[in-house]
Amino acid sequence: MCSSPKGGSTKPLTSSHVDSLSGDMSSSDYSNMVHRANESYERRQEELIEYRKTHKSKLSVTRKKLPEKSFLEKLKLFFGQIRESEAVDSK
């Protein structure tokens, strides 16, 4: 555990000077840096699109829709379960 001398509280030092990456750059250097970053981002997005085309997501397997049962089939199933439970209860 850290403690300050004389048992006082430790507070972060406040400074009027803020370090910044772009503070020492000329506007053209900063513009070039931003341009390179944007190009890199766009290139990575294109690579990601290509990757997604060739690699199927595992989630797509779990998201397959099951065939919908008709209302009539659901009713038949429901009444069949009731009949089974009544048969078990009567034994």
Q: With a threshold of 0.75, does the pTM exceed it?
A: no
CA 61 to chain centre: 19
Task: Name the one residue in this structure whose structure tokens are 């085309």.
Answer: 53
pLDDT in tens, the chain (91 residues): 455 455 555 555 555 554 556 567 888 999 999 999 999 999 999 999 999 888 876 655 555 666 778 888 889 989 988 888 887 777 6
- C-alpha–C-alpha distance, residues 82 and 84, integer Å: 5
What are the extents of the domains in the chain?
Answer: 25-61
- C-alpha–C-alpha distance, residues 17 and 33, integer Å: 23
